[in-house]
C-alpha cells in the first residue's frame, strides 16, 4: 500500500464500491483511527466490516498496514477473520474483515459482571485466541473489554479484535515513537507502561487478560480511573488488587491465579496464552477445587459512592524528559519545601500523593461543606504557588470515588487538563501564570478570594483577602440584591441606635450556608459607609482550621484592619500594626501594639516596652495585659467616630475572642461601638452559654421569599423567561440564595438539565452526617426518582443485606424527616415512600458510581415491570440508563404508541426518536418511523382544521 493522497473525512454514500469488490451499505462506526462501514463483498455475497483509515499521518498508515498484515497471518475461530486489504481509488488504505453482530465485553460489563462460569469460559476462549497469536510471535498489546466481542451477545461467541498495535518478533520498532506508551492505561502491563520494549512479550497480554478477568469477576476494573497519570501511578506503585478483597467467597486458589496473572514481575506470570490454558486446566483438575461450588453472587448497589473532591495538582515546568523518567517532583523537593508542603496539607485534611510522572496531588474530600472545602483547597494552592515558583499549580473540584489510595473520577481529568494547559503555555515561552482553577471551584469561592477569568471555564486565583469587600458575582456581574429589605432596615436601625444611644449593641445573625448572611453584611456595610463616612469597620472571620485557637477570630479582624497579609516579613507586620494603633492613639502606642501583636501572632521584641518585657516573663501577667491593651485601643478608636466590628463564621471562632469583645461592649458603654456576628445555626452548640447575662439581638435569616427569588431569576435571565421555566428553579432552590444563583448560572450556561456540582456538594455535606448504611439505602431509593417502594429498594440492595438495611434504617430516615410515607401508593400492597426534598434525592443520586447507577436502573426496571408498571416511558428510561438498549427501544415504541393514542403527537414523535437513536432493528425502526409519520399527519390535520375554522368565522 502507498500513503493516501487524502483522508476520508466525510461518510461514503451507500452504493459506493471500493476496489471493485466491496459495496458500501451504511456507516457502522467511526473513531480516531478511521471509519468502519457495513459492506457487501461482491465476490462471496457476504457482509463484511470495511475499515478505512481516517488519518493521512505516515505513522498511522504504517500501523494500519501492520494490522492488515497481522490479521492476514492469523487464522483462528476466536480471532476476527481477515478478508482483504488494499487501497481505495483515492489512495486511502482499507481493511475488510468478517462482519460480526453482537456486543463488546465492555458493553456487557457496563450492565453487569459475569458469573464465575462465564468468566472462566471467557478466559479460556481469549487465552485460546492469544495462544494462537503468541505461537506466531505476535503480541496483541491492547487486550481490553472493548477489543473482546461477544458474537450474538454470548460469551461462547468471543472474538478478539483490533491488532492495530500488535507487535511481531521480527517487526522493527519504527511504529512506536520513542518514549510513547502503546496500549490502554488500566489494562497494560507495567513493563508496557514504562516503555520497556526489550522486555515486552506475550506475558504483557497475560497481564492484560488478568485485568479483564478481575473486572469480569468483581464488576470493577483492577486499576480504576479516567486520569492517565493516576492509572499509571496505581499500576507502577501499588500492589495489584485481590479479588477476595471485594468478593470474600471466591476460592483462594482462584484469587491466587488472578494475582499471578497480574504480577508486576513478568517472570511470575504464565509465559503466554497456551501456558495460561495449561495453568487453568491444572487449577480445575486440582483435587478439592471449589471453582464449581462458588455460591451465586447477588447483584446489588455497592457501598461505593462518589464524593465532591477538591484536588490541587502541582507539576514542575521546564523539566527535561530524561529527568522526568527517573525522578519525581516530590523526590526532588528541598527538604524545607517538602516539610512545608506536608505541614500545610495535614491541618486541612488533605492527602498527598506523588504520581509516576512527577505530579503531586493533594486531595480533600468530606471536609466541611463544599464552600469550606473549596476555601481550604484554595489556600493550600496559593501556599504551594509561593513554595514552588517554578511549578504549575492547579485546583479542580468535582466528583470522585475513593478507591485504594488515589481518588478516581472526572475531577482528575479536569486537573490534568489545567496542567496540560500550563505546560503548553510554558513550552510556548509564556510567563508562569497564577494558580489556575476550574469553573466549579470558582463558583464555590466567596468574595474573599480574588479570582479573574483566564478563558472559558478557567480562572486565575490571585490571592485571599481578609474579608472581601466585593459582592458575590453572578455571570460576571454583582449578584442582584433582593428579598432582604426588611432585615437590612432593622439592622440599620439597631446600629444607628447603638452609635447614637446610651450603650453599644451586639447583634447575631444566624442561618444555614448559602442563605444570604454575607450578602446582607455587604449591603449593610455599604449603607453605613454612605451614612457615616467616618465610620471605622473591622471585619474578621472564623476558620474551621483555627476554630478554638485563642484570639484567632479577633486576630483576623485586627489583621484586616491593619492591612496585614500572609507571607509578609515580621518587621513589616509590626510596622503596619504600629501604624494602625497610631491612627487614634499617639501615646503608649508601642505597648498597645506589642500586646495586640500577641493576639494576631506577630511577636514584638521583649525590649519593645517595659510592661511587655515583664509580661513575657509571666503568663498570668500576659493574660491580664492583652485585654487591657485591646480595651485601650478600642477606647481610642471609638473616640474618633463610630466603630463596627463585624465577625463572620463565628461558629468557628474562639471563646477568648468572644469573651474579650463582650467585655469591651460592657466597659465601653458610652462609646459609639457595636459588634455584628454572623454564624451558622450550630453556633449555639459551639458556644452554648457565652452570651448569657448580656443583651444580644438575634436575627435568624429564613428562606428567600418566593417573589424575591422569582425577581432574582428575571433580573439575571431576563423578563422574557416564561413563568413555567422560573418556577422549577425557585422550587428547587427552596429559598437558598446560593442554590438559586447556581441554578441560574447553570441555565445561562446551557446546563439547566442537571443539578450543578456546587449545589450537590452543599447537599452532600448534609448527607455526610448520615450513617454510611443509611446513605446506601438512600442511593438505592434515589434510582427510582422522587418516590420509591420498600420492595423496590430491596431489589436494588440484594435480598439478604438489603433486608437488614431497610429494617434498620428506613424508620430512622423517616424519623429525621428525610423521607415520608405515602398513604396511597402507585401499586397495591406495596409500601411507597418519597424524599421530603428533591435536592436530597438529587444529592443521593449524584453519589452513585457509574456502575452502580447503571445496575440500579436495570434492576429498577425489572422490579417495576414485575410490580405492574404501566407507564412505558418510565420503563424505557430505566432500561436505557441501565444499559439495555434493546429493551429500552421496545418500551419507547410502546410509550410512543401510548402518546399517539392519547392525542399527544408531539410526545409520540419525541419518544419514537429516542427509540430510533438507540439503534432499533429494522422492523422496529419501520414501526417507529410509522408512528412519527402518523403523529405528523395528526398535527397537520389539526392545523388545517384550525385554519378552516378561523376562515368560516371570518366569513
Does one domain contain both 508 and 445?
Answer: no
Are 861 and 878 found together in one domain?
no
SS3 at position 106: helix
Domain boundary among 866, 895, 928: 866
What CATH number should be reported for the domain holding residue 440? 3.30.70.1230
Give the mean pLDDT of 641-669: 92
pLDDT at 741 over 50: yes
**Do 786 and 842 fall into the same domain?**
yes
Q: Look at the block and give the residue holding cell 463616612.
A: 533
Q: Check residue 246 and give its pLDDT.
A: 74
The residues facing 834 across adjacent strands are 787, 820
Would the CA dihedral through 318, 321, 322, 326 be positive or negative? Answer: positive
Distance of CA 69 to CAs 85, 94, 323, Å? 9, 12, 38
pLDDT at 913 over 80: yes
Alpha carbons 618 and 622: distance in angstroms, whole number? 6
CB 203 within 8 A of CB 96: no
- Taking 50 as the threshold, does the pLDDT of residue 905 lie above it? yes
Strands (E) in 268-390, as ranges, are 306-316, 351-354, 360-365
Tell me the mean pLDDT in the region 611-617.
93
Per-residue DSSP letter, 389 = T
Is 420 within 8 Å of 229 (Cβ atoms)?
Answer: no
> Are residue 312 and residue 416 in the same domain, yes or no?
yes
Answer yes or no: are the C-beta atoms of 246 and 303 closer than 8 Å.
no
409-438 b/e with 16+ CB inside 10 Å = b?
A: bbbbbbbbbbbebbeebbeeeeeebbbbbb
Residue 670 burial (C-beta neighbours within 10 Å; 0-12, 13-18, 19+): exposed
Quick check: is 753 in a domain? no
Let me know if residue 616 belongs to a domain.
Answer: yes
- Averaged pLDDT, 37-61: 85
In 3D space, the residue among 754, 765, 766 whose CA is nearest the CA of residue 836 turns out to be 766
Q: Are residues 226 and 344 in the same domain?
A: no
Q: Mean pLDDT for the chain?
A: 83
Does residue 477 form part of some domain? no
Determine which of 322-326, 468-472, 699-703 has the lowest per-residue pLDDT on average. 322-326
Give me the residue label for grid cell 478600642. 634
Per DSSP, the three-state class of 452 is strand
Cell of 770: 448520615
User: Of all residues in the chain, what percent carry a pLDDT higher than 70?
Assistant: 85
Instruction: Look at residue 697 and tell me whether its pLDDT is greater than 60.
Output: yes
The answer, yes or no, to whether residue 56 has pLDDT greater than 50, is: yes
10 Å CB burial of residue 17 (0-12, 13-18, 19+) is middle
Structural contact between residues 479 and 640, judged by C-beta atoms closer than 8 angstroms: no
Give the separation between CA 767 and CA 370, rounded to whole angstroms.
Answer: 12
- Asked if 142 is an active-site residue, the reply is yes
pLDDT tens digits along 433-443: 789 999 999 98
320 pLDDT higher than 60: no
Q: Is it the case that residue 951 has pLDDT exceeding 50?
A: no
Are 628 and 729 within one domain?
A: no
Q: What is the pLDDT of residues 830-877, one digit of tens each?
A: 899 999 888 889 899 989 988 889 889 999 999 999 999 989 999 999
On whether both 794 and 904 belong to a single domain, the answer is: no
CA distance 722 to 729: 12
Identify the helix (H) or strand (E) that includes residue 416. Answer: helix 410-427
Q: Is residue 647 in some structural domain?
A: yes
The pLDDT, as a whole number, for residue 145 is 93
What's the pLDDT score for residue 322?
Answer: 38
Element (H, E) at 933: helix 922-954
Cell of 157: 461467541
Bridge partners, residue 592, by sequence: none
Q: Could you tell me if 563 and 672 lie in one domain?
A: yes
Same domain for 269 and 148: yes
CA nearest to 737, candidates 519, 441, 524: 519
Average pLDDT score over residue span 899-925? 90
So what's the pLDDT on residue 69? 84
Dihedral sign of CA atoms 750, 753, 759, 765 in order = negative
Q: Is residue 756 part of a domain?
A: no
Strands laid side by side in the 82-87 sheet? 17-18, 22-30, 34-41, 46-53, 93-98, 82-87
Residue 603 has a pLDDT of 92
Choosing from 642, 674, 700, the residue where a domain stops is 700
pLDDT at 466 exceeding the cut of 70? no
Q: Which residues of 805-836 are buried (b: 16+ CB within 10 A; e: fewer)?
A: bbeebbeebeeeebbeeeeebeeeeebbbbbb
Distance CA 784, CA 666 (A): 58
Lookup: cell for 448: 474573599
Give the per-residue pLDDT at 952. 46
Query: Does residue 754 lie in a domain region?
Result: no
Q: Summarize the confidence of residues 342-356 as an average pLDDT.
A: 71
Helical spans, DSSP H, in 179-327: 190-193, 202-218, 228-237, 243-246, 252-261, 273-285, 321-326
Query: Is the predicted pLDDT of residue 504 greater than 80, yes or no?
Result: no
Digit-coded pLDDT (tens) for 139-162: 888 899 999 999 999 999 999 988
Q: Is 843 helix (H, G, I), strand (E, B) or coil?
A: helix
In this predicted model, which residue has the larger pLDDT, 734 or 224?
A: 734
CA atoms of 634 and 758, how far apart (whole Å): 40
Distance, in Å, from the CA atom of 673 to the CA atom of 695, rounded to the nearest integer, reads 14
The enclosing domain of 264 has a CATH number of 1.10.510.10
Is residue 879 a contact partner of residue 888, using CB atoms and an 8 Å limit? yes
Please tell me whether residues 728 and 581 are part of one structural domain: no
Last residue of a domain, one of 293, 328, 354: 293
pLDDT tens string 156-213? 999 998 875 555 544 433 334 333 445 677 888 888 876 666 678 999 999 999 999 9
Going by C-alpha positions, the residue among 3, 39, 1, 32 that lies closest to residue 18 is 39
Which of 57, 90, 142, 497 is flagged as catalytic? 142
Own/partner pairs, 415-418, CB within 8 angstroms, 24+ separation: 415/227, 415/311, 415/313, 415/361, 416/227, 416/228, 416/229, 416/313, 418/313, 418/394, 418/458
Q: With the C-alpha atoms ordered 815, 817, 822, 828, is the resulting torsion angle positive or negative?
A: negative
* Residue 478: inside a domain: no
Helix (H) or strand (E) holding 176: none
Cell of 32: 480516531
**H or E segment at 645?**
strand 643-648
| pLDDT score at 2 | 35
Element (H, E) at 674: strand 673-679
Q: Which residues of 182-193 are buried (b: 16+ CB within 10 A; e: fewer)?
A: bbbbbbbbbbbb
Residue 715 belongs to domain spanning: 706-748
Query: Shortest CA distance to 735 belongs to which of 767, 757, 711, 702?
Result: 702
Specify if 430 maps to a domain: yes
Say which CATH number the domain at 796 has: 1.10.10
Query: What are 753's three cell numbers?
Result: 438539565
Q: Pick from 125, 275, 134, 278: which is nearest to 202 by CA?
A: 134
Grid coordinates in use for 340? 512545608
Same domain, 277 and 200: yes
Same structural domain for residues 637 and 620? yes
What domain count does the chain have? Answer: 7
CB 703 within 8 A of CB 484: no
Report the pLDDT averaged over residues 576-604.
90
| CATH at 65 | 3.30.200.20
**Cα–Cα distance for residue pair 361/352, rounded to 1 Å:** 6
Amino acid at each position: 500500500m502507498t500513503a493516501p493522497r487524502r483522508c476520508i473525512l466525510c461518510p461514503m454514500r451507500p452504493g459506493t464500491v471500493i476496489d471493485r469488490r466491496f459495496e458500501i451499505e451504511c456507516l457502522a462506526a467511526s473513531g480516531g483511527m478511521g471509519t468502519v462501514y457495513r459492506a457487501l463483498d461482491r465476490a462471496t455475497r457476504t457482509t463484511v466490516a470495511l475499515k478505512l483509515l481516517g488519518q493521512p499521518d505516515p505513522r498511522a498508515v504504517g500501523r494500519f498496514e501492520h494490522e492488515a498484515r497481522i490479521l492476514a497471518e492469523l487464522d483462528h475461530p476466536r480471532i476476527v477473520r481477515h478478508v482483504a486489504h488494499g487501497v481505495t481509488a483515492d489512495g486511502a488504505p482499507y481493511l475488510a474483515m468478517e462482519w460480526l453482530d453482537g456486543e463488546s465485553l465492555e458493553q456487557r460489563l457496563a450492565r453487569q459482571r459475569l458469573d464465575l462460569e462465564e468468566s472462566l469460559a471467557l478466559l479460556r476462549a481469549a487465552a485460546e485466541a492469544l495462544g494462537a497469536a503468541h505461537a506466531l510471535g505476535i503480541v496483541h498489546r491492547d487486550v481490553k473489554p472493548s477489543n473482546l466481542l461477544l458474537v450474538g451477545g454470548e460469551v461462547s461467541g468471543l472474538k478478539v479484535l483490533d491488532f492495530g498495535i500488535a507487535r511481531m518478533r521480527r517487526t522493527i520498532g519504527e511504529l512506536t515513537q520513542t518514549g510513547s506508551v502503546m496500549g490502554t492505561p488500566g489494562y497494560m502491563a507495567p513493563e508496557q507502561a514504562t516503555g520497556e520494549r526489550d522486555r515486552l512479550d506475550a506475558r504483557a497480554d497475560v497481564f492484560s487478560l488478568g485485568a479483564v478477568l478481575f473486572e469480569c469477576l468483581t464488576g470493577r476494573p483492577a486499576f480504576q480511573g479516567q486520569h492517565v497519570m493516576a492509572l499509571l501511578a496505581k499500576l507502577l506503585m501499588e500492589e495489584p488488587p485481590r479479588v477476595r478483597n471485594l468478593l470474600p467467597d471466591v476460592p483462594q486458589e482462584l484469587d491466587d491465579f488472578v494475582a499471578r496473572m497480574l504480577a508486576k514481575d513478568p517472570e511470575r506470570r504464565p509465559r503466554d496464552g497456551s501456558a495460561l490454558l495449561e495453568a487453568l486446566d491444572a487449577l480445575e483438575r486440582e483435587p478439592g477445587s471449589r471453582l464449581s461450588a462458588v455460591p451465586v453472587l447477588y447483584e446489588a448497589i455497592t457501598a461505593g459512592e462518589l464524593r465532591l473532591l477538591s484536588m490541587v495538582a502541582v507539576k514542575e515546568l521546564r523539566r527535561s524528559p530524561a529527568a522526568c523518567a527517573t525522578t519525581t517532583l516530590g523526590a526532588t523537593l528541598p527538604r524545607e519545601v517538602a516539610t512545608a508542603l506536608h505541614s500545610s496539607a495535614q491541618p486541612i485534611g488533605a492527602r498527598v500523593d506523588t504520581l509516576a510522572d512527577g505530579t503531586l496531588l493533594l486531595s480533600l474530600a468530606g471536609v466541611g461543606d463544599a464552600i469550606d472545602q473549596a476555601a481550604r483547597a484554595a489556600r493550600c494552592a496559593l501556599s504551594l504557588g509561593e513554595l514552588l515558583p517554578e511549578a504549575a499549580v492547579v485546583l479542580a473540584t468535582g466528583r470522585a470515588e475513593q478507591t485504594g489510595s488515589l481518588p478516581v473520577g472526572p475531577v482528575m481529568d479536569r486537573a490534568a487538563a489545567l496542567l496540560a494547559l500550563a505546560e503548553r503555555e510554558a513550552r510556548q515561552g509564556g510567563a508562569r501564570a497564577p494558580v489556575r482553577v476550574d469553573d466549579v471551584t470558582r463558583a464555590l469561592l466567596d468574595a474573599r478570594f480574588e479570582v479573574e477569568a483566564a478563558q472559558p471555564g478557567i480562572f486565575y486565583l490571585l490571592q485571599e483577602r481578609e474579608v472581601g469587600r466585593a459582592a458575590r458575582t453572578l455571570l460576571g456581574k454583582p449578584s442582584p440584591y433582593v428579598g432582604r429589605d426588611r432585615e437590612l432596615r432593622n439592622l440599620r436601625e439597631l446600629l444607628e441606635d447603638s452609635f447614637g444611644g446610651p450603650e453599644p449593641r451586639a447583634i447575631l445573625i444566624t442561618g444555614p450556608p448559602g442563605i444570604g448572611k454575607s450578602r446582607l453584611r455587604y449591603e449593610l456595610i455599604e449603607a453605613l459607609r454612605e451614612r457615616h463616612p467616618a465610620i471605622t469597620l473591622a471585619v474578621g472571620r472564623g476558620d474551621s482550621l483555627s476554630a478554638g485557637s485563642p484570639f484567632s477570630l479577633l486576630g483576623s479582624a485586627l489583621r484586616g484592619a491593619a492591612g496585614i497579609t500572609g507571607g509578609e516579613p515580621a518587621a513589616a507586620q509590626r510596622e503596619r500594626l504600629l501604624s494602625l494603633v497610631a491612627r487614634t492613639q499617639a501615646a503608649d502606642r508601642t505597648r498597645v501594639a506589642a500586646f495586640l501583636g500577641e493576639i494576631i501572632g506577630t511577636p514584638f521584641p521583649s525590649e519593645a516596652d517595659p510592661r511587655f518585657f515583664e509580661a513575657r516573663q509571666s503568663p498570668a501577667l500576659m493574660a491580664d495585659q492583652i485585654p487591657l491593651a485591646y480595651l485601650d485601643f478600642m477606647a481610642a478608636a471609638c473616640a474618633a467616630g463610630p466603630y463596627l466590628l463585624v465577625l463572620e463564621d463565628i461558629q468557628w471562632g474562639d471563646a477568648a475572642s468572644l469573651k474579650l469583645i463582650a467585655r469591651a461592649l460592657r466597659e465601653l458603654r458610652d462609646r459609639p461601638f457595636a459588634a455584628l456576628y454572623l454564624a451558622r445555626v450550630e453556633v449555639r452548640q459551639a458556644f452554648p452559654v457565652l452570651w448569657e447575662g448580656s443583651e444580644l439581638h438575634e436575627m435568624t435569616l429564613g428562606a428567600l421569599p418566593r417573589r424575591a427569588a422569582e425577581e432574582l431569576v428575571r433580573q439575571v435571565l431576563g423578563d422574557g423567561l416564561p413563568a413555567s421555566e422560573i418556577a422549577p428553579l425557585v422550587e428547587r432552590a427552596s429559598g437558598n440564595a446560593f442554590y438559586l444563583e447556581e441554578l441560574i448560572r447553570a441555565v445561562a450556561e446551557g446546563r439547566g438539565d442537571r443539578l450543578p456540582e456546587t449545589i450537590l456538594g452543599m447537599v452532600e455535606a448534609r448527607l455526610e452526617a448520615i450513617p454510611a448504611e443509611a446513605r446506601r439505602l438512600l442511593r438505592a431509593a434515589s434510582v427510582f426518582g422522587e418516590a420509591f417502594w420498600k420492595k423496590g429498594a430491596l431489589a436494588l440492595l440484594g435480598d439478604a443485606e438489603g433486608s437488614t438495611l431497610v429494617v434498620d434504617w428506613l424508620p430512622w430516615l423517616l424519623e429525621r424527616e428525610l423521607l415520608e410515607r405515602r398513604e396511597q401508593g402507585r401499586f397495591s400492597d406495596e409500601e411507597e415512600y418519597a424524599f421530603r426534598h428533591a435536592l436530597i434525592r438529587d444529592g443521593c443520586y449524584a453519589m452513585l458510581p457509574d456502575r452502580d447507577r447503571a445496575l440500579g436502573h436495570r434492576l429498577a426496571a425489572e422490579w417495576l415491570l414485575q410490580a405492574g408498571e404501566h407507564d412505558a416511558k418510565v420503563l424505557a428510561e430505566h432500561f436505557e440508563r441501565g444499559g439495555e438498549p434493546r429493551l429500552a427501544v421496545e418500551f419507547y415504541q410502546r410509550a410512543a404508541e401510548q402518546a399517539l393514542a392519547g392525542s399527544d403527537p408531539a410526545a409520540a414523535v419525541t419518544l419514537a426518536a429516542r427509540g430510533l437513536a438507540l439503534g432499533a432493528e429494522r422492523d422496529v425502526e419501520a414501526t417507529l418511523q410509522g408512528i412519527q409519520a402518523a403523529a405528523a399527519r395528526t398535527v397537520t390535520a389539526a392545523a388545517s382544521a384550525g385554519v378552516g375554522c378561523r376562515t368560516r368565522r371570518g366569513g
